[in-house]
Structure 1
Amino acid sequence: MSETKRQKQVGQLVQEELSNIFMRMGFNITEGGMISISSVKMTPDLLEARVYLSMFQIAQPEEMMGRIKDKMGEIRRELGNRVAKQLRRVPELIFFLDDTLDHVFRMEELFKKINDEKEKK
């Protein structure tokens, strides 16, 4: 099922505001790595936002997800202050780890190994 125009608009708004909030809270660059919000998917009733986080060079992504979830109340309150004029209700935030970047790096390594083996022959 595809997202409606309104779901996409609200998702983009939430993504932009969360990016600013993460930057202010110091989550975007931490422990020598970087965290970015790769996408936000809204439910049809706009009451739940599924936030996909991409972590680059973070040693323990699960621990970092725990730290972010510990700050959930503060993040949601700040989001509410920022989107109060555009939305009737602040959506519930559910964070997911987006590991597509890891898959891309693994695929690139595999292709490099294959090309190196071909060149040796």
Structure 2
Amino acid sequence: MESKRQQKFASLLQQDLAAVFQRDLPHLFPGLPPGISTVRISPDLGVARIYLSALLAGSGEGLLANVQDNSKAIRHALAKRIHKQVRIIPELVFFLDDSAQYAAHMDAVLGTLHIPAETPDAPAEPEAQDAPQRPKLFADEDE
């Protein structure tokens, strides 16, 4: 579980990295820049694990390779933005967020299942003919 400090720092990094991708280094990303889905910070605030979403940016593997190749320039541009707010500029480790592909896969799997629906007039179980009758406790009880 992350502390409040880690959560605040992760939020700061997420906002500023998005600004770096869109405003400071748009030339690194042909087309649309990657989206940042999640940022996780180590307890000492020295390492940031950044999960990139490639929904609109195209190929996920190519995008990840591009970001990893330019991670030094990305970290430098991030340092320019946040150097007065933090003591240590964290190491940036990038990962591809595949939760959207996983959700699409699970949707496809659930779409192929055939689950028969019960009709309201049909009983769930066939009743036995010689089942014992339940005694009436009240006079106005209907069966």
Structure 1 length as normaliser, TM-score?
A: 0.82
Q: Is the 8 A contact 2:35 2:54 kept in 1?
A: yes
Instruction: Name the structure 2 match of 1:100.
Output: 99
Amino acid corresponding to residue 11 of structure 1 in structure 2: A
1:1-121 equivalences under 5 Å are: 2-24=1-23, 25-26=25-26, 30=30, 35-56=34-55, 60-114=59-113
Query: Is the 2:26–2:33 contact (alpha carbons within 8 Å) kept by the matching residues of 1?
Result: no
**One-letter code of the match for 1:9?**
K
Where do 5+ consecutive residues of structure 1 fail to align?
none
- Alpha-carbon contact 1:40-1:52 (below 8 Å) kept: yes
Using CA pairs below 8 Å that are at least 6 residues apart, which structure has the higher relative contact order? Answer: 1
Measured against aligned partners, the alpha-carbon deviations of 1:23-76 in whole angstroms (never above 9, x if no partner) come to 12338x755x76210110000000110001111155532222111111111110
**Runs in 1 of length 4+ with deviation above 6 angstroms?**
none
Higher strand fraction: Structure 1 or Structure 2?
A: 1
The unaligned stretches of length 5 or more in structure 2 are: 118-143
TM-score, scaled to structure 2 = 0.70
**Which has the higher Rg, Structure 1 or Structure 2?**
2
Moved more, 86-95 or 16-25: 16-25
| 2: CA distance, partners of 1:89 / 1:26 | 25
Q: How many residues align?
A: 115
Q: CA deviation at 1:111?
A: 2.4
Select the structure that is richer in helix: 1
RMSD: 2.4
